[in-house]
Structures are given as structure tokens and as C-alpha cells.
Amino acid sequence: MKNIQIILNAILSKDIFEYLTFDQNFEVVDSSAGLVKYLEKSPKVGSDILDFLPELVGSEEEIQEIFSKPHLNYVLESVYKNDYYVNISIEHYDVDRLLVLIHDITDVTLTQQQLLQYSNESILINNTLQNILDSQNALLFVTHNNIITYTNEQFMHYFGVKRMKDLQRKNLKIYEYFDSSLKSYEALYERVNSKEEYIVINKDTFILQATIVESSHTLFTLTKVTKLSNEMQQDTLTGAYKKSYFNTQLKRLINNKEEGIVVVLDLDDFKLINDTYGHQAGDDILKAFVKLIQDNIRGNDIFARWGGEEFLLLLEHTNIEHALKKLESLRTIIDRYTFKHVGHMTASFGVACKEEDDDMHSLLQRADQALYQAKDKGKNCIVFKKA
């Protein structure tokens, strides 16, 4: 009675059902006429049901149990058969027979398939784009109200995080690496704009570029300057930049009509060290001096060796008052440091601020003259020479 009800319900529900019954030997007893459209051939009475429904192979024991346990059933969903999608369910019919109901779900499944196809293709495209982005330089995507909305894998890898959440928790402010006086990414964009700028993060140098994307976001690209090119720009003995690199940066500053301060530094009485303690001692002192300066300047300050014991410092994005304070702190650090071989050493500083009419030569010349004045004043001091 229950099974007749199932069939009746199926018909009444206007769903398309076909049925088949089989006995305990898994042999077909009877079937509905429309069943053949799902099968390769018409099921004959007495034939093996597994020939028509190979989907049941492997589940024979489970199905057999339904003969003795009417409350059990067997369901297999979304099976593709002969260009149709069907659900197959097996119910208890009587002690000798089970009822197989085949429910045509082709229309709904094809719709689902289209959606799934669209979804899967989208995931594949998204993954490909993600892989492309991750293979690029470090990327940082920021809204104009200072919220980081995307970083690629290169960026996260550099900062040792795996997820955006970790990055947000770190409260990373890239603009502060560029210039500690900056307060936002918007300010960083204003500074970088369409140019290429150097930014130093954790002793690595990057070329920083910024692009407005749509009206609400800025994309910052950080291209790590390779170790080789860093080495090519550095003085092999001390690790300070070479004069040629300093010249490039100073030229850029003058061409872009940007503000900047040039400092010429000189270790006082260095020649005596070489004469007294030998050149190896002199080299050790130069290395220690450079490290002291490098450890106490901003990442984007350019510190270069001019030659011998004479060095250059280019300070940008600051004013003369702040710069002189900074230089005084450097002078004190050197004055208080105990150098290997010799102990106490001092340095003199000549300072010039870039004026509108300055070119490279006039600016360097003025700083150099200021250094001579510092030497004349008794060394271990800072002289600022106005234009």
C-alpha cells in the first residue's frame, strides 16, 4: 500500500518518474514502459538488474538488506544516464520485491550545471589572475581613506605574513619608511606621484611607484632592487653608496626642483691614523664610521663615499633645522664611540641647503667650503653655509 502511494504521489506531483521492480536474485520483475529512454536496452523480465543499472554494483549487500528492513532505502542522486540526469531511489515493495524509482531531473540539473560551469570557470580565471599578481613585484592596494584592501603574495611574504588580517594587525605604514613625517598613503602618493622613488625597508631597497586605480584606490608597486645592482652601487670597502650613485640622486633632485640638503663629512685627522696604525686600521675605522652613520640615518637618506675619508650625505624631505639637529646627533654619536685601534675619533660636517639657482657643482662646492670652515674652527663641529 505504501509503495502504491509512492507511485501515486510521483504521478500526482507531475514529476517524471519511471519504475522497475526486482526480486531477491536481482532479476527484473516488471518495469514502466518509459524506463527504456534511460537505459541502453529495454529491461526484460528475469534479466539481471545490474546489466541495466550498473550504478548499483558494489552496493548489492546494502540493497539486499532492504528486503528484510522496509524502513531502509537506497538513494543515488544526479546520475547521468543516456543523456538524462536522474535520481535513483530503491524502496521496499514487499518481501520479495524492491521498487526502483527513476526521477528525471535533467532540466534542473542542466541549469545547475550551467551555474557550476560559470562558477568553476570564474574560480579558474581568478586563480590565474591571482598567480599572475603573486608573481609580480610587491603590490599594495590602498583606499584613499588609508585602508589596505589588497596585497599580493610577494608583499605578504616580504613582511612575513600569510593573510591580510595579519597584515592589518601589524598596522604597517609603508609611508613612514619613505619619510617618517608622512601621515598617510595619500601623502605618499602625492610625494611619489608618477615618478619612481627609492624606499628602504629593513635594509632592502625598493623602487616605489604609485598609480591611481579608479577614483578610490591607489596601487603602490615596490620593486626590490636586486642584490647585484645594490652591490654595483656600493663602495666595496665600506658599504656606503658610490659617488656615482650619489650624483645620480642629486641630479634627480635638482632636475625635479626638489628640496634637499647636502652634507660633506670628514673624519678628523684620519691621515694620522693611516700613518701611525697602518692602512688596515684605517680601513677598520672607515667601516665602523660608515656603519655608525648608516645605523642612524633614515632609510631613504643617501650616504656615499666621496673618496678617502670624505663622505657625502643627501637628506630629502626635511628642513635645515631638523637636518642640523640630526647632524648634531650624528656628530655626538661619533664623538662618543670607541673605535678599534685608536679609541676616540671625531668628524666635521659641512652643510649646504639646495637653493633655486643651485646646480650640482655649486651645491657641492658650498658644502665642501662649509667643511673647510668646520676644520678651520677646530674640527668636530658642523658648519652650515648659506648661499
Partner 1 sequence: MIRKKILLLGDFSVGKTSLVRRYVDGAFDDKYLTTIGVKISKKLLTLNGEEYEMLIWDVEGSTPSKKISLGYYRGASGAIFVTDVNRQETLDSLADHKEIFLNENPDAAYVVAYNKADMLSEVAKEKIELKDDTFLTSAKDDNNVEALFIRLMEKMVL
N-term to C-term CA, the chain: 109
- Shortest separation between residue 61's beta carbon and partner 1, angstroms: 8
Instruction: Tell whether residue 129 is a contact of partner 1 (CB under 8 A).
Output: no
**Position among 119, 136, 229, 319 found at the interface with partner 1 (CB under 8 A):** 119
65 binds partner 1 (CB under 8 A): no
Residues 37-56 that bind partner 1 (CB under 8 A): 50, 54-55
Q: Which of 176, 309, 355, 356 is catalytic?
A: 309
**Shortest distance, CB of residue 96 to partner 1, whole angstroms?**
23
Is 113 near partner 1 (CB under 8 A)?
Answer: yes
Task: Decide if residue 216 touches partner 1 (CB under 8 A).
Answer: no
Give the number of other CB atoms < 10 A from CB of residue 362.
Answer: 15
Q: How far is the CB of 109 from partner 1 (least distance, A)?
A: 6
CB of 6 to partner 1, least distance (A): 20
Which one, 59 or 193, has the nearer CB to partner 1?
A: 59
Known catalytic residue at 309: yes
> Whole-number minimum distance, CB 119 to partner 1, in Å?
7
Distances (CA, A) of 33 to 1, 37, 44, 98: 22, 9, 11, 18
Does 135 participate in binding partner 1 (rule CB under 8 A)?
no
- Whether the CB-CB separation of 290 and 301 falls below 8 Å is answered with no
Size of the site for partner 1 (CB under 8 A): 26
Q: Which one of 121, 275, 283, 376 is in contact with partner 1 (CB under 8 A)?
A: 121
Choose which of 24, 120, 216, 296 interacts with partner 1 (CB under 8 A): 120
**At its nearest, how many Å lie between partner 1 and the CB of residue 59?**
4
What is the SS3 string spanning 181-217?
CCCCHHHHHHHHCCCCEEEEECCEEEEEEEEEECCCE
Q: Quick check: 62 binds partner 1 (CB under 8 A)?
A: yes
Residue owning grid cell 588609508: 146
Least distance from partner 1 to the Cβ atom of residue 76, Å: 6
Residue from 124, 147, 164, 213 in contact with partner 1 (CB under 8 A)? 124
* Closest to 246 measured CA to CA, from 163, 135, 367, 330: 367
Among 22, 10, 19, smallest CA distance to 94 is for: 22
The correct pick among 29, 76, 207, 297 for binding partner 1 (CB under 8 A) is: 76
81 vs 366, beta carbon nearer partner 1: 81
Question: Does 163 engage in binding with partner 1 (CB under 8 A)?
Answer: no
Taking the least distance from each CB to partner 1, the nearer of 16 and 254 is 16
Query: Looking at 57, 295, 338, 357, which residue binds partner 1 (CB under 8 A)?
Result: 57
Selected from 59, 280, 296, 329, the binder of partner 1 by CB under 8 A is 59
Q: Considering only the stretches 114-122, 323-331, 365-373, 377-385, report the one whose residues sit in contact with partner 1 under the rule CB under 8 A.
A: 114-122
Contact between 160 and 174 (Cβ < 8 Å): no
Among 24, 64, 78, 229, binds partner 1 (CB under 8 A): 78
Q: Which is nearer to partner 1, 31 or 109 (CB)?
A: 109
* Residues identified as active-site: 309
Residues of the shown chain interacting with partner 1 in the complex, contacts defined by CB under 8 A: 50, 54-55, 57-60, 62, 75-80, 85, 109, 112-113, 116-117, 119-121, 123-124, 127
